[in-house]
Amino acid sequence: MTQAKPPVKRSAFDSQFDPAPSTTAAEERVSVATQWQLMWWRFRKHRLAMISGIVIAAFYLVAIGADFLAYADPHKTEAFRSLIAPQPIHFFDEGRFSPHVFGLVGKRDPRTFKRVYEPDPEQKIPLRLFAEGYEYKFLGLFKTNRHLIGVDGGLAEEAIFLLGTDQLGRDLWSRMMIACRLSLTIGLAGVTLSLVLGVLLGGISGLYGGAIDTLIQRVIEILRSIPTIPLWMGLAAAMPRDWGVVQVYFAITVILSLIGWTDLARVVRGRFLALREEDFVLAAELAGVSQMRIILRHMVPSFLSHIIAATTLALPNMIISETALSFLGLGLRPPAVSWGVLLQDAQNIQTVAISPWLLSAALPVIVVILAFNFLGDGLRDAADPYG
Amino acid sequence: MLTYTIRRFLLALLTIWAISVLAFAIIQLPPGDYVTAYIAQLASSGVDVTPEFAENLRQQYGLDSPIWVQYLKWMEQISRGNFGRSLEWRAPVLDMIGDRLWLTMAVSVSAVLFTWGLALPIGIYSAVRQYSIADYIFTFIGFIGLAVPSFLLALILLYLGFRYFDANIGGLFSPEYQLADWSLGKVWDLIKHLPLPAIILGMAGTAQLIRIMRANLLDELRKPYVITARAKGMSEFRLILKYPVRAALNPFVSTLGYLFPFIISGSIIVALVLSLPTIGPLLLRSLVAQDIFLAGTIVLFLGIMTVFGTFISDILLMWVDPRIRFERRE
């Protein structure tokens, strides 16, 4: 690192003021800014991280309003609607704005005897916003049957196929919306648990040092050199088959955090070791501040940002792991709906070759993981605004 | 240097022991045992099973003694080279695993080689030609590699191969060699099939290593000794390869220790998607069927393989990084 670097230089300030006084005004603002303000300014510079943050927020909004965005009952099976290809929405009808979908006609392929569906351009089914559909509880609070899109006076299940249907005739778009919930929250739950374990054990390790530190470090090393997927598979296979969705969910969370905590513990320990030598900690000690207060009031705030960054970077691994386990049939199981459960249908390459839309759940997985990685990178850069 | 090697070796032994306990514990966790599953299977096919028969089976397989006795028995048998019999396939576990273990190792090692062989030159190139178009392209590919889980990548590639090239890219052998005995032709066939799984498995690791290498080398290139060497007229090629690359290599090697478990892990699930005749599909099946000796042995072998790989990378690191070679314990 080069010395005597001006702390922050920002174009937003330069454009606001004349060049000469701007530096002093900017410098003054910088010198009185709090640590969190400095971090926010630095984070804002990382454009990709900003965009990723917005993308992630959007995903969580989808998870909250999943039932509203879905238009078909995600659990309702219908053999007559098996494996329908995605159908687009047509927005204009003879130059007039009137969103509609074509009706589908089911036929038998004369050569393969497979049931195929063809859109019939003569049969136009108009769509409308905030239409009525299946009943659900919004935010678990009140019952409603309004959905973002639907069909006037008919069943949306029979008309709209934005992403097609699966083998059992369930609408893939609606299922994907609902799947956001489990897939996005299981990562959060897993990361929370690993965070608790990581901060506790990493903190003890960094604070006390000596034999306890060595022991915890060896345990971490051993855990990290065990190939995780066989371990997870073993643990997941050990779950009783008759467990309900909620029990499986928590079991998976625990399984995921079993390895996840080691990374966070390392970060916490490293920060503890570094901060223990800092002057301000020594000053506080000399002033007679109690150890608990030094930790909570002086040390934790200065490495909180690092922990947030490390947590964000740990999240995508959790999401990948859940998807992988569910894909293998060892994680969440139907009737639970998660991206991994949806991808289970795509396990067989023959099926995928005929109905490639079954792979569509891969897209949100990739986007979310990418976004979390960028966001974590940005947060990590911003975590140390004085560096 | 010797102390370091010994310490690493002891840690490796400790890890293997921990893995053996974990492997055994995992297999014991599910309610019921193999006999319960076997009897359910017999009952569903219409065979009447008496309780005495079940009891006999349990005794025969030693399933009626306490868990720790079963563990000790298992360990004792292993130390004699007897890994038990697969309860489901009624064959010695070693026969079941044999070829599959070697193939798993072949796939994993080639994935590691691929990761290294690609990440090193690309990382160096990206650092030396920072912000060039190629640098941006590699960075982009790297991010994609990081974000797409290997089994999804396998699925997508499998689909693309099926759809546009009308070829099944799964498997490790051409049909004519699938059941053939080992021969030079079969080995060559294997080598021809290895690159794809290796690329799929190595993608995420490669992406990570490129970024590490690039960042490290960028830090090194800004140091005064590089400028001095350049001012003295050293050729650019030697200038970069001789010192900065070597210095930047340290953290690079140290990540290998975690690369190996990561790749072995990934190979299990990718093998299922690509239907590779490796150990992954067998493990899944044995876990579902509660075939305890088979599953236990597989987890144990995978663990030992990983620990061994990590140990080798530790020794490599010591060889590359003098700071570790002369480390003094504080």
- Give the containing element (helix H, strand E) for B86: strand B85-86
Beta strand B85-86 with A115-138 is: unpaired
- What pLDDT does residue A23 have? 61
Cα dihedral sign for A24, A26, A28, A30? negative
What's the whole-number mean pLDDT along residues B259-271?
81
Sign of CA dihedral B167, B172, B178, B180: positive
B283 to A139, A246, A329, B294, B306: CA distances (angstroms): 41, 26, 13, 8, 16
Best mutation site among A51, A233, A242 for testing chain B: the one with the most B CBs within 10 Å? A233
Where do the domains of chain B lie, and which CATH numbers do they carry? Answer: 32-82 (no CATH), 97-289 (1.10.3720.10)
Please give the structure tokens belonging to residue A297.
Answer: 């009031």
CA separation for the pair A231, A246 (Å, rounded): 22
Rounded to 5 degrees, what are φ and ψ at A275? -75, -30
CB contact, 8 Å: A50 with chain B?
Answer: no
d(CA B113, CA B263) in angstroms, rounded, equals: 11
At A60, the pLDDT band (50, 70, 90 cuts) reads: very high
B15 contact residues in A (CB cutoff 8 A) = 221-222, 225-226
Q: How far is CA B284 from CA B36, B41, B272, in A?
A: 19, 18, 9
A5 pLDDT exceeds 60? no
H/E stretch holding A204 reads helix A172-208
Task: Please give the pLDDT value at position B42.
Answer: 73
The mean of the pLDDT values for chain B is 79
Task: For A155-190, write each residue's pLDDT tens digit.
Answer: 777 778 888 888 887 888 889 888 888 888 888 888
Q: Which of A233, A327, A352 sits opposite B287 (nearest CB)?
A: A233
Q: Which residues contact A288 (CB under 8 A, 6 or more apart)?
A: none
Cβ atoms within 10 A of the Cβ of B135, count?
Answer: 17
| pLDDT score at B27 | 65
DSSP assigned state of B32: S
Which stretches of chain A are assigned E, i.e. beta strand? 90-93, 96-108, 115-138, 142-151
Mean pLDDT, chain A, as a whole number?
Answer: 80
Contact: B156, A349; criterion CB under 8 Å:
no
Structure tokens at A91: 């927005």
The DSSP element (H or E) to which B283 belongs, if any, is helix B279-288
Cα–Cα distance for residue pair A271/A267, rounded to 1 Å: 6
Q: Which residue of A has its CA nearest to B144?
A: A370
Residue A59: predicted pLDDT: 92
* pLDDT (average), residues A351-369: 86
User: What is the pLDDT at residue A106?
Assistant: 76
Nearest CA in chain A to B267: A229
Given a contact cutoff of 8 angstroms between Cβ atoms, the answer to whether A228 and A318 are in contact is: no
ipTM of the modeled complex: 0.75
A335 cis-preceded (ω within 30 degrees of 0)? yes
Per-residue pLDDT averaged across A199-223, rounded? 83
Pairing state between β A90-93 and A115-138: unpaired
pLDDT at residue B31, as a whole number: 62
CA distance B255 to chain A (A): 12
For residues A319 and A334, give the distance between their C-alpha atoms in angstroms, rounded to a whole number: 18
Whole-number pLDDT of residue A386: 62
Rounded Cα distance, B49 and A186, in Å: 43
DSSP code of A337? -
Q: What are phi and psi of B50, to 5 degrees?
A: -85, 155
Chain B residues touching A373 at Cβ < 8 A: 143, 146-147
Measured distance between the N- and C-terminal CA atoms of chain B, rounded to whole angstroms: 15
User: Bridge partners of A90?
Assistant: A100
- What residues contact A87, with CB distance under 8 A and at least 6 apart? A101, A102, A104, A119, A160, A161, A162, A164
Which tops the pLDDT comparison, B220 or A24? B220
Tokens matching residue A367: 């986007």
Lowest mean pLDDT of A38-47, B174-183, B245-254, B317-326, name the range. Answer: B317-326
For residue B185, pLDDT over 90 is answered with no
pLDDT digits (tens, 9 = 90+) for A301-310: 777 877 888 8
A2 pLDDT tier (thresholds 50, 70, 90): very low
CA B21 distance to own-chain centroid: 20
A376 touches chain B (CB under 8 A): no
Size of interface A-B (CB pairs under 8 A): 129
**Do the strands A142-151 and A96-108 form a parallel or antiparallel pair, or are they unpaired?**
unpaired
A333 in Cβ contact with B259 (< 8 Å): no
pLDDT computed for residue A15 by the predictor:
46
